């Protein structure tokens, strides 16, 4: 009779500049959406743990905000700290890049990643969007010359292509040891946190380019009663004009955001959801450390 496979567990950071697909990758790896996504950069603002337990291996993925340059507000500093402070605390780093693109932000992040002294896998995402596939191999060869990566994996977080290869490489680097979380636990975040993030995602997806970055969502009520959730949330903006945009003509914009958010919450919580939304103004919240802390933007 063969010996049972030794358990492995460990933390894996998913890092990259904004909008390279970190949250999409996390959701695909878990087979369930816990990290919000949108086409806009800097959608992710917090570190979020996604826990996958399969066979003898428990992989704890750490989704991080996109590391970016040029952001001068307090919230930009917070997001960069949340991402970069993760590097020294994990067992493996997966650095995501966007297809055939390589930017100055990638170069700066790679320097910080390699300084962490952890095994680094370079994940080249969105290869399904490369029309001329003959360009991929020379690009991978050029990337390999940039640093001593453990491996380079071309993949598509959207379609799931090659994720099995990435997972095998990650599992080989995790230390032997008992699991860090219960086998059925999916994330470290509460339902309350996930509800607020869902509202923010719908706002990010439905509004123009400027307003979403001036938004924060704060839950005032989250009650579970007789198989349903009763949720009240305040959407904070920085100017009165932004409040009008979020509400929309005749309140239609806010109603649609609420409808979409409620649909996703009911799917996630497997329960009926009664959702109420308000929009209020708090000037300069995104560049005020005290306001950020009160809205949940604190170093983990």
Q: What would the pLDDT profile of 158-217 be if each residue is shown by its tens digit?
A: 999 999 999 999 999 999 999 999 999 999 999 999 999 999 999 999 988 778 888 999
Q: Pairing mode, if any, of strands 228-237 and 216-225?
A: antiparallel
User: What gap in Å lies between CA 42 and CA 126, rounded to an integer?
Assistant: 18
Handedness of CA 104, 88, 157, 122 (dihedral sign): positive
Where are the CATH 3.30.300.20 domain residues in the chain? 191-294
For residue 95, the number of C-alpha atoms closer than 13 Å in the C-beta half-sphere is 30
For 88-102, 177-191, 209-223, 241-255, which range has the lowest pLDDT when averaged over its residues? Answer: 209-223
Average pLDDT value for the chain: 93
- Overall average pLDDT of the 28-50 stretch: 91
Strand 272-281's sheet: what is its strand order?
A: 216-225, 228-237, 272-281
Tell me which residue of 137, 135, 124 sits closest to 163, measured CA to CA.
124
pLDDT class of 224 with cuts at 50, 70, 90: very high
pLDDT at 110 over 70: yes
User: What gap in Å lies between CA 72 and CA 101, rounded to an integer?
Assistant: 25
pLDDT at 71 over 80: no
Which CATH number applies to 191-294: 3.90.180.10, 3.65.10.10, 1.10.260.40, 3.30.300.20? 3.30.300.20
CB atoms inside a 10 Å sphere around CB 112: 15
Q: What is the per-residue pLDDT for 296?
A: 87
pLDDT at 299 over 80: no
For 60-74, 101-115, 232-246, which range has the lowest pLDDT when averaged over its residues? Answer: 60-74
pLDDT at 79 over 80: yes
pLDDT class of 39 with cuts at 50, 70, 90: confident
Report which DSSP code applies to 6.
P
Where are the CATH 3.40.50.300 domain residues in the chain? 8-173
- Overall average pLDDT of the 37-46 stretch: 88
* Three-point CA angle 180, 178, 2, nearest 5°: 145
User: What is the pTM (predicted TM-score) of this model?
Assistant: 0.93
For domain 8-173, the CATH class is alpha beta
Q: Is residue 209 a contact partner of residue 71, using CB atoms and an 8 Å limit?
A: no
pLDDT class of 35 with cuts at 50, 70, 90: very high
């Amino acid at each position: 009779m063969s010996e049972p496979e030794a358990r492995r567990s460990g933390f894996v950071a998913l890092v990259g500049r904004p909008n390279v697909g970190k949250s999409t990758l996390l959701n695909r790896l878990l087979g369930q959406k816990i990290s919000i996504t949108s086409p806009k950069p800097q959608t992710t603002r917090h570190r979020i743990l996604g826990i996958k337990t399969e066979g003898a291996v428990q992989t704890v993925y750490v989704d991080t905000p996109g590391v970016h340059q040029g952001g001068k507000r307090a919230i930009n500093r917070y997001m960069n700290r949340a991402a970069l402070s993760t590097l020294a605390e994990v067992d493996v780093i997966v650095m995501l890049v966007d297809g055939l693109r390589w930017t100055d932000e990638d170069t700066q992040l790679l320097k910080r990643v390699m300084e962490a002294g952890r095994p680094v896998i370079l994940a080249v995402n969105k290869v399904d969007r490369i029309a001329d596939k003959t360009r991929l191999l020379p690009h991978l060869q050029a990337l390999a010359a940039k640093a001593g990566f453990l491996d380079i994996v071309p993949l598509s977080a959207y379609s799931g292509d090659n994720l099995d290869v990435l997972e095998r490489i990650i599992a080989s680097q995790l230390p032997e040891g008992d699991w860090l979380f219960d086998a059925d636990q999916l994330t470290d975040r509460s339902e309350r946190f996930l509800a607020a993030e869902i509202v923010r995602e719908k706002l990010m997806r439905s509004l123009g380019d400027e307003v979403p970055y001036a938004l924060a969502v704060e839950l005032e009520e989250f009650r579970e009663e007789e198989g349903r959730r009763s949720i009240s949330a305040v959407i904070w903006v920085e100017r009165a004009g932004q409040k009008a945009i979020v509400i929309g003509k005749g309140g239609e914009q806010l109603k649609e955001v609420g409808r979409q958010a409620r649909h996703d919450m009911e799917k996630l919580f497997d329960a009926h959801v009664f959702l109420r939304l308000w929009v209020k103004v708090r000037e300069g919240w995104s560049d005020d450390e005290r306001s950020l802390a009160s809205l949940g933007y604190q170093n983990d």
